[in-house]
Amino acid sequence: MTAVAVSRGWTPWLLAGPALLLFVGIVLVPLAMTVLLSFHDWGQYKGIEPVLILKNWREIIDDSYFHEMFARTLRISVLVTLIAALLGAPEAYILNRMKNPWKGIFLLVILGPLLISVVARTLGWALLFGGETGVVNKALLELGVIEAPLPFMFTETGIVVALSHVLMPFMVLSVWAALQRLDPQVENAATALGASHFTVLRRIVLPQVMPGVLSGGIIVFALAASAFATPAIIGGRRLKVAATLAYDEFLNTLNWPLGAAVAVLLLVALIVIIVGCNRLVERRYAQVFQ
Amino acid sequence: MSRNGPLALAFHTLFVTFILAPILVVCVVAFTPEGYLSVPTDRVSLRWFRAIADYPEFIDAFWNSVWLAAASSAIAVGFSVPAALAIARYDFTGREALTALFLSPLMVPHVVLGIAFLRFFTQIGLGGTFVGLVLSHIVIVFPFALRLVLSSAVGMDRAIEHAAISLGASDFAVFRRVTLPLILPGLASGWALAFIQSFDEVTMTVFIAAPGTVTLPVRMFLYIQDNIDPLVTSVSACVIAITVVFLVVLDRIYGLERLLVGRGSGDGA
Amino acid sequence: MSFLVLEGLTKRFGDQAAVDSLDLVVEQGEFVSLLGPSGCGKTTTLQMIAGFVEPTSGSILLDGRDLLAIKPSQRGLGIVFQSYALFPHMTAAENVAFGLEMQGVPRAERSQRVSETLALVGLAALADRYPRRMSGGQQQRVALARALVIRPRILLLDEPLSNLDAKLREEMQIELRQIQRTVGTTTILVTHDQAEAMALSDRIVVMNKGRVEQIGRPHEAYEKPASAFVAGFLGKTNVLPAAVEQRNGAAVASIGDGSWPLPAEASGRVTVSVRPEKIAFIDQADCSLAGTVRTRIFQGNHWLYQIDTACGLVTVIRQNAGEMMPAEGAAVRLTWRPQDMTVSPAGQDGRI
């Protein structure tokens, strides 16, 4: 009987063992090495020196260039999250009230882009607004609505719009999932009690959907803050965010330790923000989650 | 029973336009007969699709992507089946932490993973190799494979396995004849979703791909960084078309909503 | 020698005893029901026999052999699960054949036995159909056939009829009983439905909070419940407080304004339970309890009364024999025979 108990205790670890080894070997170890790397020294001619110094971290903390870049990353992420929430949540609600087959079709149309290459989607925005040849700009110029092409490429606005587009499906998905847990009869019950449509939305639907909006917001924020391809294409070489800066340090300047420090700071900041928000959301909406 | 008012429908129309416009414009511009970026007005041409054939770097990158996605998804699914069974079936200390670890690639920025893998693979001599790419892609698609396999394992009635045991089936026979066939749909969808995720990945791959192992999205990204011309739009249009076909098939087989919302697992990330 | 013997069988989850030293002896060919409310330990007991739950202590002997030493897959028991647990990717015939395949029965004999068993449960025509295209009753039959085809030493039925609607359930009860008689397999049924248990079984084991309250034939357990709990669980009952004293060397129970001679040994404050259909209206004051009719409901073949008395509400069921019955608000006196009372210690009420 003891033999049985022991083997039961070990069975799950035996089953999960291969995946666990894989993760320890090629996730935890490389991440630890990256943290270590961020403390190494680097010089133009000497390359990476395996010492433990705070040089890179001091540089990030002292240099206003980095402050500006992190502030921009934060600003963009907050704006993208707000836009996604303000547009995505109502859309999920409207979608949920549609009849089949429209519901299914539009769900596919809105969530489908999630699986389409980010590069292709960002390219679309460049084609729409890229300078004078941009489709929308050209049309507006020809119609005489505007005199000069709308500035889009190499602007923060451009990055925010394109990122909102890229990450929007995550918000719709999250709110949609929350709406599915809602009992449709509750809305009818409120209406039967004399509540107007607006009151039903504000007092009945919104509070129950809020956890979905918030968890969607966390996902969108995290992905926006670490986005790479979209800011790189729209922002070009001039407008840097955290991810594109780290890329530059690694593949252009070749200052790996500094790039690693930027990446580690991004990771730590994100973890702090995400965990903090999660705590807040869970405490605030504990009763809705149960 | 039109439950949405005119205002809601107007909003919906604008929203769908916002979502579709950038994707459609890529597909439309790809058919331009001109040598520069423009919307084809009087006639459409396939010249830029034919032009892809003259750029072997796109073709090579495409096949790199396909093999990479197929291999890493298959291996990820292989690792995820026993892990999912452990998480679904057993209550053990560390279960929550283990699940969090397995889902962590969803939360760790890909740029950080890219840097970590670049450093790691360079140190152990796998820098720029296809093996390195496969290993890194296994990690990033693993959460997707795990979630779908997990939800089918959780959704399965344990009594069915008990029934097989009571009828005299050995552990192996129960797995092969009952458990595996029943989680197969989850397995297949897990593989397909993992395949798409791997096929589209650019942020992490851009750090670790060497000239010989560059994937299609990375090749497109690097090309766009230099200049945007109709060639890259026709390549993008092909990628979009392939994804859409994949998506419609997946939706038919498994249901896109179920795939993305992932019933049975509580997290939305 | 007894066929199946459970001795001191106990299962603890933490410090909670799901099953507390259960003793049960089942003879070959017998149909025994484990009956009780949810959480009484009946399913855990079944799972311990099946081998899916390991007992904390105690033993299970089948035909003199220690069943606990045998792996679940080698116990040779037929089980019908509450959810049926059919293999959804196999046809009815494939489902039934699975157990034979595992035993290595040759193909020819296998298909012979599969069709025989499917015929036994009346499903010969649906052999090639998949479970999801069958009705609940049909799935139930496949599950039964799958369990029977391996000629199990014991047939275990875990709430097999609970997913069927009332009418189908009654039909299946009759059929289940007939099939069990035909094949003669020793059967253990787990159910929370007392009517089902009484209709099907040779003996009933009434369980409550992990302990056995009574083991007996259905009629005996109904007429002579060992406790107020059994009385309350097997059919409806009225629970009345009573005081017992000795008068002229005999025990007499005072209930409200009436008093009854008591057959059993008891003293002090006790609880008496009486079934509604054993109570009659009467004019005389002897051995009767005064009350007022609060509600009267006509239910076709009988009348259902709620009577306000000094001991609280009393339910009375009277056959509809076409006579005049007391109306609502009428003052009545209730009586019953002393042997219709079940006496248990005070405070232990049988309500569920």
Which residues in chain A belong to E strands, given as ranges? Answer: 41-43, 47-49
Long-range contacts of B50-57 (CB under 8 A, 24+ apart): B51/B231, B51/B234, B52/B231, B52/B234, B52/B235, B52/B238, B55/B231, B57/B214, B57/B219
> What is the per-residue pLDDT for A169?
92
Residue A158 in contact with partner chain B when CB distance is under 8 A: no
Taking the CA of residue A248 as centre, how many other CA atoms within 13 Å lie in the half-sphere pointing to its CB? 14
CATH class of C4-231: alpha beta
Give the CA angle between residues B8, B14, B19 to the nearest 5°.
Answer: 120
Q: Class for domain A64-288, per CATH?
A: mainly alpha
The more confidently predicted of residues C142 and C269 is C142
DSSP state of B167: T
Distance CA A179, CA A195 (A): 20
Q: What mean pLDDT comes out for the span B128-152?
A: 91
Alpha helices in chain B (DSSP H): 6-29, 47-52, 56-89, 95-103, 110-124, 130-154, 158-166, 171-174, 180-200, 205-208, 216-226, 230-253, 256-261
| Mean pLDDT to the nearest integer, A181-201 | 78
| Predicted local confidence at residue B216, as pLDDT | 92
For the segment A12-39, the average pLDDT, to the nearest whole number, is 88
User: For the residues of B57-85, what is the DSSP string, one character each?
Assistant: HHHHHHHHHHHHHHHHHHHHHHHHHHHHH
Q: Which positions in chain C touch B159 (Cβ < 8 Å)?
A: 81-83, 85
ipTM attached to this prediction: 0.86
Share above pLDDT 90 across residues of chain C, in percent, rounded to a whole number: 28
Q: How confident is the model at residue B136 (pLDDT cuts 50, 70, 90)?
A: very high
Out of B11, B22, B142, name the one closest to residue A125 (CB): B22
Which pLDDT tens digit goes with each residue over C148-158?
998 899 999 99
CA gap C131, C141 in Å, rounded? 11
**pLDDT at residue C348, as a whole number:** 53
A125-153 residue pLDDT tens: 988 887 777 888 888 888 888 888 878 88
Q: Which residue of B has its CA nearest to C74?
A: B168
Return d(Cα B21, Cα C253) in angstroms, integer.
Answer: 89
Q: Which amino acid is at A101?
A: P
Question: What pLDDT shows up at residue C189?
Answer: 93
- For residue C83, list chain B residues with Cβ-Cβ distance below 8 A: 157, 159
Instruction: Flag if B163 and C81 touch (Cβ within 8 Å).
Output: yes
Stretch 245-284 of chain A: residues touching chain B, C-beta under 8 Å: 246-247, 250-251, 256, 259-260, 263-264, 266-267, 270-271, 274
Q: Model confidence at A8, in pLDDT bands (50, 70, 90)?
A: low
For chain C, the straight-line distance linking the first and the last C-alpha, in angstroms and rounded, comes to: 38
Chain B residues touching C150 at Cβ < 8 A: 167-168
Average pLDDT, chain A: 84
Is the CB of residue B37 less than 8 Å away from at least one CB of chain A? yes
A245: its two tokens? 């800066």
Q: How far apart are CA A224 and CA A219, in angstroms?
A: 8
Percent of chain C with pLDDT over 70: 97
| pLDDT of A51 strictly over 80 | no
Share of chain B above pLDDT 90, in %: 39
The rounded distance, in Å, linking the Cα atoms of B212 and B129 is: 8
Report yes or no: B260 at the A interface, CB cutoff 8 Å. yes
> How far apart are alpha carbons B137 and B200 in whole angstroms?
11
- Integer Cα distance of B250 and B263 in angstroms: 16
The SS3 call for residue C317 is strand
Q: What are phi and psi of B41, to 5 degrees?
A: -100, -60
The sign of the torsion formed by the CA atoms of B153, B155, B159, B160 equals: negative
User: By the CB < 8 Å criterion, does B102 face chain A?
Assistant: yes
Query: Is C236-345 a domain of CATH 2.40.50.140?
Result: yes
The CB density around residue C175, as the number of other CB atoms within 10 Å, is 16
User: At a CB cut-off of 8 Å and minimum separation 6, what does A230 contact?
Assistant: A118, A122, A159, A162, A163, A166
Spatial distance between the Cα atoms of C191 and C218, rounded to a whole number of angstroms = 14
Please tell me whether residue C274 adopts helix, strand or coil conformation.
strand
- pLDDT tens string C218-260: 888 888 888 888 888 888 888 888 888 887 777 888 888 888 8
Residues counted in chain C: 352
∠ CA C18-C21-C23 to the nearest 5 degrees? 120
- What tens digit of pLDDT does each residue of B90-104 get? 888 888 888 888 988
> Residue-wise over A100-122: b if at least 16 C-beta within 10 A, else e?
eeeebebbbebbbbbbbbbbbbb
Per the CB < 8 A criterion, the answer to whether C76 and C99 are in contact is no
pLDDT at B93: 82
Domain covering B52-261: architecture: Orthogonal Bundle (1.10)
Are B163 and C85 in contact (CB < 8 Å)? yes
CA triplet B147, B155, A183: central angle to 5 degrees?
95
Helices C136-148 and C107-120: crossing angle, nearest 10°?
130
Chain B residue with CA closest to C52: the answer is B162
Q: Where are the domains of chain A?
A: 64-288
- The answer on pLDDT for A183 being more than 80 is no
Which positions in chain B touch A198 (Cβ < 8 Å)?
Answer: none
CA atoms of A120 and B216, how far apart (whole Å): 11
- pLDDT for the residue numbered A288: 53
Whether residue B209 lies within 8 A of chain C, CB to CB, comes out as no
- pLDDT band of A220, cuts 50, 70, 90: very high
**In chain B, where the domains are located:** 52-261
The pLDDT confidence band at residue A2, using thresholds 50, 70 and 90, is very low
Cβ-based neighbour number of residue C55 at 10 Å: 22
Residue C146: pLDDT band with limits 50, 70, 90? very high
- C149 SS3 class: coil
**pLDDT tens readout for residues C58-114:** 999 998 889 999 888 888 898 999 888 899 889 999 999 999 999 889 999 999 999
Name all chains with 3 or more CB-CB pairs below 8 Å to chain A. B
C-alpha C35/C-alpha C190 separation (Å) is: 6
Cβ-contact C186, C154 below 8 angstroms: yes
Question: How open is the CA angle B233-B113-B197, to the nearest 5 degrees?
Answer: 45
For β-strands C65-66 and C57-62, DSSP reports them as: antiparallel
Q: Do C88 and B182 touch (CB under 8 A)?
A: yes
What residues are paired with C216 via a beta bridge?
C204
pLDDT at B134 over 80: yes
Lowest mean pLDDT among A237-241, B88-92, C343-347: C343-347
Closest-CA residue of C relative to B162 is C52
3-state secondary structure of B192: helix
Average pLDDT of the segment spanning C257-277: 80
What whole-number percentage of chain A has pLDDT above 70?
Answer: 95
Query: Which run of H or of E encompasses C280?
Result: strand C280-282
Q: Is the pLDDT of residue C130 over 80?
A: yes
pLDDT value at residue C45 = 92
pTM of the model: 0.81
Work out the average pLDDT over A74-84: 95
